[in-house]
Structure 1
Amino acid sequence: MTNRAPLVWVTRTTEGARRTARAVEALGYHTLVAPVLKIQALKPIIDPHSFDGVIFTSRNGLNAFSSLCGRRALTAWCVGDATARAAGEKGFQPVISAGADSKALVALIRQTADRHSRLFYAAPAEPAAALCQVLCADGFQVSEAAVYETQSVVPRLNPADLPRIRHILVQSPKAGRAIAEALIAWHDKLCFPNLRFICISEAAWQGVEAGLRQSAAPEIRKAVAAGLDRRIAETPDEAAMLRLLETDG
């Protein structure tokens, strides 16, 4: 790698960062792996026989739940195909994928789940959607417990790499806010007009934008006022984010 090669900043948690970096590098890019969040598993008390199926909206939830509960003869309702594959590898049977986002998962459960079955949502501490409440309002028996949380961390960035950053992957609103904090801290080393934010959703971008608007640095205020370059994935998953990079290449 030359010192002039532009970089894609992979910001996701360590658990998936290397996998994402390999996928980005397969598209011909150079990567900078520097997570802005970390996963902290929680330890709620869960009765493994109090439900017949479990809802996973991320692999983080799947991994945390699997460490808490050894039962695998459960229907795994998964937000997307990657989470579904991981659930199958862990031995859950049967596994059902919504192939999209939380809204699609709720719709799938509404359409196909037995309303007499008991469901458990392996949730993050800050769920992006009120999934449990929505399903309960529809008459489903759904319990919920936070099995993990994400915490902001200071990314390990080499100042020499900062001017080379061209693309920044933003995979959640919370990550967006953490990225904004890092950009503000290193604003004098960055070229904001050259940055392109590849965002999993509009909400993720709003996390970045809201964070940057807190800065008093003239170059950041000017860049925000002019309109920062961002791309929003067609569907809220990493595959769609990678397609945006592929069309940029």
Structure 2
Amino acid sequence: MAARRVIVTRPAEAAADLQAELAARGIEALAAPMLTVETIEPEDALPTALQAVLVTSGNGAQGAARLGLRRDLPVLAVGDATARAAAEAGFTAVTNAAGDAASLVDLVARACRPEAGPLVWVSGEAVSTDLVAALEAGGYTVIRRIAYRTAMAATLSSEVVAGLRAGAVEGVLFFSPRSAEAFARLAHGLELEAACATVSAYCLSDPIARMASKLAWRTIHVAETPTKAALIAAVVEGGSDRKVEKD
């Protein structure tokens, strides 16, 4: 039996672990990083009396460390990978919202008080949810610090293109709307629409699925929960999770 094969679109620094996890389940993963990350140095000093740090990505957690924030400050992380990155960066009081941006807003409501001081949100330049607006509506003061920007890939590797054209790929994994947008743009440019129509898209969340739907996939699957483990489980099970059928 031929090995199952998928494409992973995570940035190179995050793809290796995902490839290893899939390989352990008998699934070969071709790397097609759709984004490269560039750090942005902070321009303004932060207040010393911060209540908590909010991070919505591993790169955001690393950015929080570069800001020189106290490592004992409470850190509220959006999910497993982000919480792990914050701990690896040396933060000692990390709480995991175990979900998406809405889950993080709920966690802030439970763990923080508007009158207890400002929150700092360390993020990338492009975000899918405006946490500042969401939390200020609840009376919180939120300072956003942009720690990195992402650039979209300019091409797909010959191996990835050949695999798609030969029908040797069964799925593509997307972890962010920008990755899905970048892949769709390249697929259109390389005239891969027909090839993608025989392939399933596996998306971490509904916003990612909406962006992925710029291509006419065989099926779009959305993980039951917005975690890497849930997305891997969906791939392993062949897509027995929620489905967003093409029109």
Structure 1 length-normalised TM? 0.85
Q: Corresponding residue for 2:244?
A: none
Q: Secondary structure at the match of 2:41?
A: coil
Offset at 1:173? 1.4
Q: Corresponding residue for 2:91?
A: 92
Q: Corresponding residue for 2:6?
A: 8
One-letter identity of the residue aligned with 1:235: T
- 1:203 is the counterpart of 2:202: no
Aligned-residue identity in percent: 28
One-letter identity of the residue aligned with 1:152: M
Q: Secondary structure at the match of 2:42?
A: coil
- 1:58 is the counterpart of 2:57: yes
Q: Corresponding residue for 1:17?
A: 15
**Structure 1: gaps (5+ residues):** 213-223
Offset at 1:54? 0.8
Q: Secondary structure at the match of 1:8?
A: strand
For 2:10 and 2:29, locate their aligned partners in 1 and report how far apart those are by CA, in whole Å: 12
Offset at 1:70? 5.2
CA gap of 1:187–1:132, structure 2 versus 1, over 3 A, is same
Q: Please show how residues 1-249 of structure 1 align to structure 2 within 5 Å.
A: 5-48=3-46, 49=48, 51-69=50-68, 71-115=70-114, 116-153=116-153, 154-158=155-159, 159-162=161-164, 163=166, 164-187=168-191, 191-210=195-214, 212=215, 224=216, 228-248=218-238
Q: Secondary structure at the match of 1:248?
A: coil
2:3 touches 2:26 (CA, 8 Å); kept in 1? no
2:55 touches 2:76 (CA, 8 Å); kept in 1? yes
Q: Secondary structure at the match of 1:30?
A: strand
For 1:73 and 1:85, locate their aligned partners in 2 and report how far apart those are by CA, in whole Å: 15
The runs of at least 4 consecutive aligned structure 1 residues that moved more than 6 Å come to none
For 2:157 and 2:39, locate their aligned partners in 1 and report how far apart those are by CA, in whole Å: 22
Q: Root-mean-square deviation (CA), in Å? A: 2.2
- Aligned residue pairs total 233
Listed one character per residue, the Cα deviations across residues 179-202 of structure 1 (whole Å, up to 9, x for unaligned) are 112222333596334201111112
For 1:190 and 1:78, locate their aligned partners in 2 and report how far apart those are by CA, in whole Å: 39
One-letter identity of the residue aligned with 1:135: L
Listed one character per residue, the Cα deviations across residues 1-36 of structure 1 (whole Å, up to 9, x for unaligned) are x9x644210111112011111111111111111101
One-letter identity of the residue aligned with 1:194: T
For 1:120 and 1:171, locate their aligned partners in 2 and report how far apart those are by CA, in whole Å: 24
Q: Corresponding residue for 1:217?
A: none
One-letter identity of the residue aligned with 1:176: A
Q: Secondary structure at the match of 1:12?
A: coil
One-letter identity of the residue aligned with 2:29: T
Q: Which has the higher mean CA deviation after the structures are superposed, 88-97 or 45-54? A: 45-54
For 1:205 and 1:187, locate their aligned partners in 2 and report how far apart those are by CA, in whole Å: 21
Offset at 1:228? 2.9
Structure 2 length-normalised TM? 0.86
